[in-house]
Structure 1
Amino acid sequence: MKVIHPISARLLQKSQYWLLGTAAALVAIYMTLVWLSGNIAHFGMSILFYLSAMIVFWEKRHSLVLQSSVLSKVLGAALIGFSLWGGSILLHDPQLTSDLPNPVLRLFPFVSALAISLLTSGLQGLKRYRQELTLLFFLGGPSVIFTLLPDISPITARFATFLLWYTGFNVSVQDVYINLPTGGVKVYTGCSGIESMAYLLGIAVIGLILFPVSRSKQILVPIIALLIGFGVNGVRVALMAILGTAQNQELFHYWHEGEGSSIFGVVAMLVFGLCYWLICKQQRISDQKF
Structure 2
Amino acid sequence: MRLTAKSASINKIEFFLLGIGTSLIIINLFLIWKSGIIINFYINSAFFILICLSLKEKRQKLKFESGLPATILGLLLLACVFISSQNQINFVVFSLFSPVMSGLGLAFLASGFKGLRQYRIELIAMIFLSTRTLIYALSNYLDISPVTAKLSTAILWYTGFTVKLSGTIITFATSAVKVYGACSGMATMLDMFSLGILFIFIFNLKWKQKILVPVVAIILGFIVNALRVALMAILVNQGDSQAFNYWHDGDGSLIFSMISALLLCGFCWFLLSMNQQEDQSILGS
TM-score by length of 1: 0.85
SS in 1 for 2:114: coil
Aligned residue in 2 for 1:221: 213
1:73–1:274: structure 2 CA closer, same or farther, 3 Å change rule? same
2:69 to 55, 68, 71: 71
Deviations 1:26-48 (A, max 9, x none): 11112222222222222222322
Aligned residue in 2 for 1:13: 11
Rounded to whole Å, the distance in 2 between the matches of 1:257 and 1:85 is 35
Amino acid at match of 2:65: Q
Amino acid at match of 2:170: I
Rounded to whole Å, the distance in 1 between the matches of 2:42 and 2:167 is 33
1:161–1:111: structure 2 CA closer, same or farther, 3 Å change rule? farther
Aligned residue in 2 for 1:40: 38
Amino acid at match of 1:200: M
1:184–1:85: structure 2 CA closer, same or farther, 3 Å change rule? farther
Rounded to whole Å, the distance in 2 between the matches of 1:173 and 1:111 is 47
Amino acid at match of 1:115: G
1:107–1:233: structure 2 CA closer, same or farther, 3 Å change rule? farther
1:192 to 184, 187, 196: 184
**Residue identity (%):** 33
Bigger drift between 53-62 and 120-129 goes to 120-129
Is 2:43–2:195's contact at 8 Å kept on the other side of the alignment?
no
Aligned residue in 1 for 2:120: 130
Amino acid at match of 2:86: S
Residue 280, structure 1, aligned to residue 278, structure 2: no
SS in 1 for 2:242: helix
Equivalenced residue count is 280
SS in 1 for 2:20: helix
Is 1:87–1:105's contact at 8 Å kept on the other side of the alignment?
no
Q: CA RMSD in A?
A: 2.6
Residue 180, structure 1, aligned to residue 164, structure 2: no
Amino acid at match of 2:244: F
Aligned residue in 2 for 1:99: none
1:121–1:258: structure 2 CA closer, same or farther, 3 Å change rule? same
Rounded to whole Å, the distance in 2 between the matches of 1:63 and 1:189 is 48
Is 2:66–2:110's contact at 8 Å kept on the other side of the alignment?
yes
Residue 166, structure 1, aligned to residue 164, structure 2: no
Alignment of 1:1-290 (within 5 A): 3=2, 6=5, 10-89=8-87, 102-105=92-95, 108-139=98-129, 141-148=131-138, 150-290=142-282
1:120–1:89: structure 2 CA closer, same or farther, 3 Å change rule? same
Rounded to whole Å, the distance in 1 between the matches of 2:178 and 2:133 is 22
Rounded to whole Å, the distance in 2 between the matches of 1:106 and 1:186 is 32
Unaligned 5+ runs, structure 2 = none
Amino acid at match of 1:114: L
Unaligned 5+ runs, structure 1 = 97-101
How far is 1:237 from its partner?
1.5
Deviations 1:229-279 (A, max 9, x none): 111111112112222343322221211111111111111110000000000
TM-score by length of 2: 0.86
